[in-house]
Structure 1
Amino acid sequence: MERIVAAALRIVDEEGAEALSMRTLAQRLGSGTATLYRHFDNRAALVAHVVDRVFGAVQLNREELVAMGWQQALRTVAHTMFDALGCHRDAARLMVEQIPMGPNAMALRENCIAVLLDSGFPPRVAAHAYATLARYVLGFAIQTNGHGGTGQLDAAQMPAVFRSVDQSLFPATLAVAGSLPVPIEDEFSFGLELLLSGLVQLHDDV
């Protein structure tokens, strides 16, 4: 099983999420699809195992997270998840197909929600907080590792872009041109801090 899932993840890394199928995996392993179906009912079951293998890289236990305090715990989880997905070119796209429910993903979700509940967040807010955090990380991971790169202009391209438009129409953008483009890692950290600030307000209002 371990060898099969590892091979499936390599296909995703090398060829993209859409390339992963029972047939391509069988070819990669030099076996027949019948062999794979003895382990996985369908592609969705295979994807679930591949996704959970990625989550296995997020090694954070509850005691560690509790000791950090809830804000640092969520910050650490978000950055660790982002880094784990960053190690695999297209794995984030697999997570769009289904909610991760493997043992590694469930353990991470359980530990994060437990920290939030222990810190005084009501159950509904704790559930929404983790779901929002996970979706936030996933969205940035897709932009970073998906096809076409980050979708951002290289810094060297920015002057040429501004010369090609009527600058009088975009004075505010021109005023911040020296700070553009914002590296996607900086965008991620900045947005994460905004998310955490909002949760602080919710926590204080409880």
Structure 2
Amino acid sequence: MTSDEADETPIPRALELLWQGPSPARRTGGLTRERIVAAAIDLADADGLGALSMARLAERLGCGTMSLYRHVANKDELVVFMLSEAPAPPPAPSDDGSWRDALSTWAVGLWGVYHRHPWILQAASSGPPADPGQLAWLDAGLATMAGTPLSERDKLAAVMAVLHFVRGSAALAIEAPPIDSRSYPELLSRLVEPTRFPALTAALAAGVFTDDADDPLAGFRSGLAQLLDGIGVRIPRDARKAPRAR
């Protein structure tokens, strides 16, 4: 073994298995890794990540708990498999769209992923992605900027800014208790004093806290548009085409 090989960070078993592709066709008691992961995703979608346990998953699959360990080492490894599988493939950019259209489509798609699988907001906080599923989304996000003159570092910064915006917006929408779009502004108007909170008073007067019933994504799209405006300032108008779909 060379010194370089000795210094290499070992790849976790879960990532090695994911990058090897689908598990072998061999079955144990009718189980495969893919079937276990699919059941775990369904369980987490329905009841949250905290409700997921190997014992409960075994009960859902109609097998003994120990049977699961022939395919998945532990719950932490299972979550890695889930994070790679749940997002599904990212949207492909159109042939004739701008980088802005492509990145906006990517952001709305990511918003949908978080709403279909809210537990990802908790699980993905464990560290940066290194699995094929999540990296496919990051690659697709970077691909939207391929036709721009931005440096690779700035492309990544732009995509990560959008990702963090989407993630934060989704977390607020999913995890915050539901707010009545009529009672909340009315409550604020009774509490907020114009001399103490003049800017908030102006926002209330403009009706910004009243949800758009026709478009539940109105607030999200407005914030996303402002973020994309900021990114667009750094991109000349003659270099704003999106890459061709791959």
| TM-score class, shorter | 0.7 to 0.9
Structure number with the bigger relative contact order (C-alpha 8 A, sep ≥ 6) is 2
C-alpha contact 1:86 1:145 (8 A) present in aligned 2: yes
Partner of 2:209: 181
Partner of 1:60: 91
Partner of 2:167: 138
- Written as runs of structure 1 = structure 2, the 5 A alignment for 1:12-161 is 12-56=44-88, 58-61=89-92, 64-65=93-94, 67-146=96-175, 148-149=176-177, 152=179, 154-161=181-188
CA RMSD of aligned residues (A): 2.7
Structure with greater helix share of residues = 1
**2-side partners of 1:111 and 1:20: how far apart?**
30
Deviations 1:11-32 (A, max 9, x none): 2222212222323322322323
Percent identity, please. 27
Count of matched residue pairs: 201
Partner of 1:198: 230
C-alpha contact 1:8 1:50 (8 A) present in aligned 2: yes
**2-side partners of 1:164 and 1:114: how far apart?**
47
SS of 2:177's equivalent? coil
Distance 1:67 1:106, change over 3 A: farther
Name the amino acid aligned to 2:72.
F
Moved more, 17-26 or 70-79: 17-26
TM-score (norm 2): 0.69
Partner of 2:43: 11
C-alpha contact 1:13 1:90 (8 A) present in aligned 2: yes
TM-score (norm 1): 0.81
C-alpha contact 1:113 1:126 (8 A) present in aligned 2: yes
Distance 1:111 1:169, change over 3 A: closer
Distance 1:34 1:186, change over 3 A: same
User: Which entry has the higher C-alpha Rg, 1 or 2?
Assistant: 2
